Each structure stands twice: as structure tokens, then as C-alpha cells.
């Protein structure tokens, strides 16, 4: 299945795209900071990219495409179909009800942010999913207060915020701790221009982990300050406290009304 929009071409991801996904997504600290991965070490980016292509590519280990479902799509400019800008799509399973259900997610190289690319791609992917005769439902999560652009895209896709998703329901504790280590590393690498954004995201995500007992508060704040190289700015402190008061991540979903109790599981 190939989808085209006014400016984009979306085709099923393939294993052969692993290197490109590693470079465009997992080697870009600005992108990884909104995901749930740790790619600090040599080879990590390629390893994380392979997890996506192994599971959700057209020729991956799961036969979702062959069964009539949808996996991940490579996003390219319509005029340059060999250039991968990012990936977007679904992690789906057959629910006991016999319909497709799962998670919608995406990642776009930071060089293409702010150009309306993901909005355009998400529109096409939403139409493709709900055109399936056996579409059951999808959910998505995002880091609210630091990545509101994602929230706007998801709502445009017809998804509704129905509450919050705890980190423990979405990720293993060791993965959350790895995310924090990555955020500390990114903060230590950031220049003066990017530090304010980096510390805000790090504080937001760390606060969520502290709220669920995955990290310890005093130690976490001390490590954030050390990585920042100074006392935390007021904005970062406010984001940390907000995460304590509103644990978890923003959770949105869209369901086929015929299956109101459908269980939606993620990647």
C-alpha cells in the first residue's frame, strides 16, 4: 500500500530502511527526547531502528501487512521518494473481537519539523486505518506540556483525550530509567541555545518517573542540576512539579463505536 498526499509519499517500511531510520530518527537527540529510547552508545541507534523494522516493516517478523493490517510507513517527499524524512504508522494486533487494534505513533527528523509534514502524513494514515473493513481502534500517548504539537496532530486525527496513561503501564521501569539517563546525557551535550528546551523536557519526563516511584526525587533533581550546570531554571522546576501533580502522559484514543470495550495495546 502506497499513500500519496499533496507533497508526500508514504510506503510500507522495509528492513532495508534500517540504516536510514537510525540516522534520521535515532541519531537525532531532538527526536529521541520525545520518544522512549536511549541511544547514547555507538550502535544503539541502529539497534533501536532494527526493532522497528523487524516488527513493523512490510518484510518484518510479523505478518501484519500480509493479513490486511497496517504497520509503519516511511515518509518521503513526493518529488524525492528515496529520501526518508521519518516514519509513522501503527503497531497493531488482532483483538479477540477479530478487529485491528493498537497504537499509533510517529517520529520525524528534526530538520523537517514545523513544516506541516506530520500533519499531512497523519491525515493520510488516519484515513487508511479507518478505511480498513476491520478497524477496531487505536490509541496514542505524548509528553504534554513539552510536545503540544503532537497533541494537536492527534486531535486532528479524531482522537480524544480520555485521561492519562501511567509510565508503568506504557514502559518498564528500567526503560524509564534509561530515558532519564539519555535526557541527562542530552542535557550535558546541549549548547546554550538548546539547553532551555532540553532541561524542560528532561524535567518533565523525570518528574513523571518520580511521581510513580521509579526515580527518587532529591537525587533526580540533583542530577538534573549537575547536568544543566547550574540551578534549574524556573520553567524546568515548574514542569517537574506539574509532572508530580499530573502523573503519566496524555492519553488519546479513537474507537469503532461497535467495540466500546476493546483493549488497545501498544508497542
Non-local (6+) Cβ contacts of 169 within 8 A are 248
Give the sheet arrangement for strand 100-108, strand by strand.
Answer: 3-4, 8-12, 72-77, 86-94, 100-108, 135-142, 249-255, 160-165
pLDDT surpassing 90 at residue 46? yes
Burial class of residue 64, CB neighbours in 10 A (0-12, 13-18, 19+): buried
CA angle 181, 183, 188 (to 5 degrees): 95
What confidence category does residue 60 fall into, taking pLDDT thresholds of 50, 70 and 90?
confident
How many whole angstroms separate alpha carbon 5 and alpha carbon 120? Answer: 7
Residue with cell 481502534: 137
Three-state DSSP class for 58?
Answer: coil
CATH 3.40.630.30 in the chain: give the residue spans. 3-166
Tens-place pLDDT, residues 182-234:
999 999 999 888 999 999 999 999 999 999 999 999 999 999 999 999 999 99
Q: 3-166: what CATH class?
A: alpha beta
Phi (first) and psi of residue 8, to 5 degrees? -125, 155
How many whole angstroms separate alpha carbon 186 and alpha carbon 30? Answer: 9
Tens-place pLDDT, residues 87-118:
999 999 999 999 999 999 999 999 999 999 99
Average pLDDT over residues 51-67: 92
What confidence category does residue 56 fall into, taking pLDDT thresholds of 50, 70 and 90?
very high
Confidence at residue 63, expressed as pLDDT on a 0 to 100 scale: 85
Confidence at residue 61, expressed as pLDDT on a 0 to 100 scale: 87
- How far out from the chain centre does Cα 41 lie? 20
Tens-place pLDDT, residues 113-163:
999 999 999 999 999 999 999 999 999 999 999 999 999 999 999 999 999
Amino acid at each position: 500500500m502506497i499513500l500519496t498526499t499533496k507533497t508526500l509519499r508514504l510506503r510500507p517500511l522495509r528492513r532495508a530502511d534500517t540504516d536510514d531510520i537510525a540516522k534520521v530518527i535515532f541519531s537525532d537527540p531532538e527526536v529521541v527526547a520525545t520518544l522512549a529510547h536511549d541511544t547514547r552508545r555507538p550502535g544503539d541507534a541502529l539497534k533501536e531502528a532494527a526493532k522497528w523494522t523487524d516488527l513493523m516493516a512490510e518484510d518484518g517478523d510479523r505478518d501484519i501487512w500480509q493479513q490486511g493490517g497496517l504497520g509503519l510507513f516511511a515518509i518521503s517527499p513526493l518529488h524525492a521518494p528515496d529520501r526518508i524524512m521519518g516514519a509513522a504508522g501503527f503497531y497493531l494486533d488482532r483483538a479477540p473481537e477479530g478487529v485491528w487494534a493498537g497504537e499509533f505513533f510517529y517520529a520525524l527528523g528534526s530538520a523537517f519539523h514545523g513544516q506541516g509534514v506530520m500533519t499531512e502524513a497523519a491525515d493520510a494514515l488516519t484515513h487508511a486505518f479507518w478505511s480498513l473493513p476491520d478497524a477496531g481502534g487505536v490509541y496514542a500517548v505524548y509528553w504534554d506540556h513539552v510536545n503540544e504539537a503532537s497533541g494537536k496532530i492527534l486531535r486532528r486525527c479524531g482522537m480524544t483525550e480520555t485521561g492519562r496513561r501511567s509510565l508503568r503501564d506504557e514502559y518498564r521501569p528500567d526503560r524509564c530509567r534509561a530515558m532519564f539517563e539519555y535526557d541527562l546525557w542530552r542535557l550535558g551535550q546541549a549548547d546554550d541555545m538548546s539547553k532551555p528546551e532540553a532541561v524542560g523536557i528532561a524535567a518533565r519526563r523525570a518528574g513523571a518517573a518520580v511521581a510513580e516511584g521509579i526515580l527518587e526525587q532529591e537525587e533526580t533533581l540533583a542530577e538534573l542540576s549537575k547536568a544543566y550546570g547550574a540551578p534549574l531554571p524556573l520553567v524546568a522546576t515548574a514542569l517537574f512539579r506539574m509532572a508530580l501533580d499530573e502523573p503519566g502522559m496524555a492519553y488519546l484514543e479513537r474507537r469503532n463505536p461497535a467495540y466500546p470495550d476493546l483493549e488497545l495495546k501498544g508497542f
